[in-house]
Amino acid sequence: MAQPLFQMKRPQSPLVTALPSIVALLLASLFTAAAVAAPSGGPYGPQACDYALPKVSGRIYFVAPDARAGASGDSLAAPCSLESAIDRVVTGDAIVMRGGVYRTGNLEVNQGILIQAYGTEHPVINGSLVATHWIAQKNGLWRMKWAHLFPGKPADWWRRESVGRTTPPYRFNMDMVFVDGRPLHSVGWEGELDDSSFYIDYGTGDVYLAADPSKHVIEITAHDGGLIRTIKPCHGKASDGKGLRLRGIAFTQFAYRALEIEGHEPEGPANPSTYGKDVVGSLLENVSITQCSRVGAYLRGDDLVVRNCLVSDTTTEGLYILASSNCLIERNIVRRNNVDNMQGYFPCAIKIFNQTHNVVCRDNLIIDQRHSNGIWYDVGNVDGVVVDNWFEGAQTGFFFEISKGATCVGNVFVDCDEGVKVLNSCRVQVYQNTFINSPATFDRTERNAVGDHFGWHPSTGPGVDQRVGHVFVGNLFVTRAPFSDPVLRIRQSALVNAKLRDQQMSRVDGNLYVREGHPQTTAFEWGPADGDNLSIPYASLAALRAARPELEAHGRSLELKTGCFLRSWELEDYHPLARLMPQSMTRHPADFIPKAALKLLGLTTADGLCPGAYPVVNTH
């Protein structure tokens, strides 16, 4: 039986159909509304599976970390090396990996093959080597020559004048050092060293430590990539255009990235029929990617699926999906991106970039992102879907920028600087989400392709006067101190304000705004505003509606001086309490929410649906 790597402790809507009937009836009676889409509660991340030998059209190669040179790989008794199998595989073959650590990297393959674990074993592809030849210095430090260094420098678009005071130059080098598996952070010279840091003199090739290597296992990265699914010829074969399938494999300790699927990317507005076709149909399932100095995985190609994976401890991006369409990202854990707190690199847990179409992010756990954004659709994306995800502790949970059309349904945002941020985009529909001490922002600026710092990027999105058509309906905000920001912010820049007076929002209705404890000074911020004001602050929903009566005909606000509107803040159970839910909030017309959004919620009607991701719960 598969066991979850991570299952949320917080109670969620029960899957009553899987329980004995009498228990199901008892649990179902707790809820006064039909079950709706919401974070499932897990299991998330890699599952412990017992893999059967795959049924493939080609040959199975068995590999092991301690394989004998020249072995055939035809059987468990004669496994070959991973490198040897990679050299020989062709379309339709499979590689079955025995458990253990494979210290290797920069493996290239261009065939549609399957790589999976054997049975219940745990193969780990590790990009570091154990460092053993240290020299003790008189000053108490330790020094060793290292031949596999990866010096780096900022990208040409990095703005030193803005963030150079917070990100030192040595942070752009990509080498990593580990003490007993624990990553150290880099410093700029020997005088800064302590037991948690390392220094590299790239002029001499020396690595310096304060920790005594004789008492620890020291590993240093030796490869800047793990597995590359290339589109170039390799091993005497041309690329077959078929996706790479990985199951039950772990990648760790790589300078730069662990995994890359290559593909051509457009540099300017392009038809999706012209890209995403180099490698089609890749699958990552029960894969773990950790400890990469830049990106966990670069992924390109249509019909990509990433399911039940763990991506953790990266710097710029965890998963980076580029120029691809019809992709599904579901039930993954993505945590601790931007561990180096690198400024000016626009970090995010999952970046979806450059004119993707129909990329669905469903029921993922995006956590521990204090120095990073969550899921970011950036530059020319079309019709993204973000449904049933849990975002906690991110700078921005769901970010949609310079793109056209997205549906954000059934998500939970907890303690994010911004739960949802929509910037210079059009047609973003936000339905039935729960915001816990997390605001939502819709913003537009004058940014366009003329003289832009990133060149052609803005040309792939809507024009300045087309950044309209947003919908914000049926969402629940619950806030308490110390949170004090406006919960809903509609903004535009001064230059846009001088030219455009139309509304970004086509509909704002049926949202519930709950404040526990001391009331907020400003609950809303709305623009465009008259005169030189970019937006006007409003202290309450009543004040907003008095100024803009077209808004929130079915919306409500609720202030609780004492008590809790939710089942349990402490256990992060964010079901609303039925006795505190305004009855009017559950009596909407059947067509209050469009059919496409209802389908994502698993419903056919909005009748009886209350605001937020979760149904109300009765307590006694």
Torsion sign across C-alpha atoms 566, 554, 34, 583: positive
Q: Report the topology of domain 128-221.
A: Immunoglobulin-like (2.60.40)
Listed residue (447, 416, 441) closest to 524, CA to CA: 441
Mean per-residue pLDDT, 100-128:
98
Q: What is the dihedral of CA 315, 319, 323, 326, to 10 degrees?
A: -160
Instruction: Tell me how far apart the alpha carbons of residues 323 and 205 are, in angstroms, rounded to a whole number.
Output: 38
Yes or no: say if 13 and 39 are a contact pair by the CB < 8 Å rule: no
The pLDDT tens digits of the residues spanning 550-583 come to: 999 999 999 999 999 999 999 999 999 999 999 8
Instruction: Tell me how far apart the alpha carbons of residues 113 and 86 are, in angstroms, rounded to a whole number.
Output: 10
This prediction has a pTM of 0.93
Yes or no: say if 92 and 56 are a contact pair by the CB < 8 Å rule: yes
Q: What angle do CA 288, 289, 294 make, to 5 degrees?
A: 170
Level-2 CATH architecture, domain 276-494+501-552: 3 Solenoid (2.160)
Average pLDDT across the chain, whole number: 92
Domains in the chain: boundaries: 128-221, 276-494+501-552
For residue 58, is it left (φ>0), alpha (ψ between -120 and 50) or beta?
beta
Yes or no: say if 312 and 183 are a contact pair by the CB < 8 Å rule: no
Torsion sign across C-alpha atoms 274, 323, 295, 107: negative
Q: Is 450 helix (H, G, I), strand (E, B) or coil?
A: coil
329 membership: H or E segment, kind and range: strand 325-330
**Amino acid identity, position 145:** K
Quickly list H helices, 53-195.
Answer: 82-88, 160-163
Q: Give the count of beta carbons closer than 10 Å to the beta carbon of residue 37.
A: 24
Listed residue (405, 408, 420) closest to 469, CA to CA: 405
Q: CB within 8 A of 450, min separation 6: which ones?
A: none
pLDDT of residue 290: 98
Yes or no: say if 166 and 343 are a contact pair by the CB < 8 Å rule: yes
| Cis peptide leading into residue 482 (ω within 30°) | yes
The pLDDT tens digits of the residues spanning 267-319 come to: 999 999 999 999 999 999 999 999 999 999 999 999 999 999 999 999 999 99
Q: CB within 8 A of 553, min separation 6: which ones?
A: 509
pLDDT of residue 531: 65
**At residue 16, does pLDDT exceed 80?**
no
Record the tokens describing residue 491, joined without a space: 């903004």
Domains 128-221 and 276-494+501-552 share a fold: no
pLDDT of residue 514: 97
548 exposure class (CB count in 10 Å sphere: 0-12, 13-18, 19+): middle
Confidence label for 343 from pLDDT (cuts 50, 70 and 90): confident
Instruction: Tell me how far apart the alpha carbons of residues 590 and 358 are, in angstroms, rounded to a whole number.
Output: 27
Q: Give the count of beta carbons closer than 10 Å to the beta carbon of residue 375.
A: 28
The pLDDT tens digits of the residues spanning 169-216 come to: 899 999 999 999 999 999 999 999 999 999 999 999 999 999 999 999
Mean per-residue pLDDT, 503-524:
95
Record the tokens describing residue 388, joined without a space: 């049933």
Instruction: Tell me how far apart the alpha carbons of residues 393 and 219 are, in angstroms, rounded to a whole number.
Output: 31
**Amino acid identity, position 238:** A
Q: CB within 8 A of 443, min separation 6: which ones?
A: 421, 422, 423, 424, 489, 490, 491, 492
**At residue 8, does pLDDT exceed 80?**
no
Rounded to a whole number, what is the largest CA-CA distance in the chain? 81
Instruction: Tell me how far apart the alpha carbons of residues 105 and 124 are, in angstroms, rounded to a whole number.
Output: 11
